[in-house]
Amino acid sequence: MPTLTIDQQVALLMQGAEYGDEELKQNMARELKERLLEAQKEGRPLRVYCGFDPTTSDLHLGHTVPMRKQRQFQELGHDVTFVVGDYTSLIGDPSDKNKLRPRMTHEEVQHNAATYAEQAYKMLDRRKTMIRFNSEWLSELTFAELIGLASNFTLQQFVRERENFRLRWENSDPIYLHETFYALMQGYDAYMLKADVQIGGTDQMFNIMTAARKVMVSLGARPNIAIILGILPGTDGEVKMSKSLGNHIPLLAAPEDMYGKVMSVPDKAMGQFMRLVTRWTPDRVAETEAALRSGALHPRDAKMAIAREIVSIFHDEDSALHAEEAFKKVFQQKDIPDEMPEYALQPGQTVLDVLSAAGLVASKSEGRRMLDQKGVKLDGEALEKFDAPFPHPGVLQVGKRRFVKVK
C-alpha cells in the first residue's frame, strides 16, 4: 500500500462505517486520528481486534467485512488479533436475533474454529495475524469479577438500547439472564487485549460502543475506538447476507459461481459492496459512483469490475478473468448469432438515434415502445432511456431476433 497521510488513513479506515448518527461517526473519526498520531509519535502500532464466534464452518462474503477492515490495518503496519470466540460461542450473540440462540457444545465450537481461521487467511496476512481464543481469559474470571463487570450496567440499558431485547420484552418472549453476559464478555475481551481499536458490524453497536468502552474504563483502561461497519446485503440486495436465507456468496465457491453471484446483486447494493468487501480506496469508490451518476459508466460495467475484484481476492486475477469470460459467454451472448450486421457509432448519438439509424426499428415511436417494454438490450443488459447517450460499443438487440454489432 502506498504511503498515506494520517487523514487519508482515517478516510480509508472509516470507509463503510455506520453509526446511525453523524456526530458519533465524526467523534470516532477524531478519536481514531488522535490515536494514530499518538502511535506514530511513539513509534508503535495500534492494537486492533475483532472477535468471531465460530457458529458455522462455512464462511460467506458477509463474514469477511470486518476481516477486510483488519487487513487494511495490517497493510498500514498495525497489529491485528483475530479472536476466536470459543467461550462467547457457548452463549451465542443475541445481537441480531429476536429469540434465544441455541447454545453450542464445546465440540461444535472446536470443529468450526478449526476451519474458520483457515478461511480467514484468504483475507488476512497469515504472517501478521495473531489468533487468540477468548477462553484463555474468560474461563479464568471469578464470580466476584463477573459481579464487578455487571455492576456497570442496568437491566433497563439492555431492554431499552437493545432493540431485539425490547421487542422480545414487548411480546412477552423470554429474555434469559445469561444472554446479557455476552456484552460483558466481549468488553472483557477488549480489556484483556489492551485494544486500541475494536471492529464490528452495526449489530454490535451496543456491545462495542457501550459495553466494551464502559468495561475498559471501569477497569482503569482507556476506551477503545469502535469501528462499526455496515452490514453487507445478500444477493437480493435487501437483507443481511445469510446462508439460511440462501442469499449468500460462499468463500469456497468456484470462481465462476462467485462471479455470477456478484453479478446477480441489484445495482442499488453496489455501493455497499464497493465499500465493504473490495480493496478499493475511498477515492476509487467516489470516482466510480460519480461516473455512475453521470452516466459515463454503465452499471453493468461497474458491477463487472466489482465481481472481478472480489474473485481476485479469494482466488486470483487469472481466475477472475476466466470467470468473466465464462459469464459473458453464458449470460451475455446467449442466443446471439455468430454473424450480424455492423453499425459504426457516431459521436453524440442517443440510444434512440442508433436504433433508428441501424434499422432495428421502423420508427422512433417503435423504438420508444420497445425501450419501455425493456425489449432493447446492449450486451444482455436492458436499456431504458431513449434520450441517453449510447453507452458503449457492443451487441445491440431488439426483441428476440434483431441484432446489430455496434462498433
Cell numbers 472446536 correspond to 110
pLDDT at 96: 46
**Do residues 301 and 328 touch, judged by C-beta distance below 8 A?**
no
All structural domains of the chain, each given as residue ranges with its CATH number in brackets, are: 6-229 (3.40.50.620), 255-332 (1.10.240.10), 342-406 (3.10.290.10)
Per-residue pLDDT at 319 exceeds 50? yes
Q: Express each pLDDT in 109-132 by its tens digit.
A: 777 777 777 778 888 999 999 999
DSSP 113-182: HHHHHHHHTTTS-GGGEEEEETHHHHTT--HHHHHHHHTT--HHHHHHH-HHHHHHHHTT----GGGGHH
Q: How confident is the model at residue 97 (pLDDT cuts 50, 70, 90)?
A: very low
pLDDT over 90 at 373, yes or no = no
Q: What pLDDT, on a 0 to 100 scale, did the predictor assign at position 384?
A: 83
d(CA 33, CA 151): 32
Contacts of 38 (CB under 8 A, 6+ apart): none
Average pLDDT over residues 267-278: 95
Confidence of residue 98 (pLDDT cuts 50, 70, 90): very low
Confidence of residue 190 (pLDDT cuts 50, 70, 90): very high
| 314, pLDDT greater than 70 | yes
Model confidence, pTM: 0.76
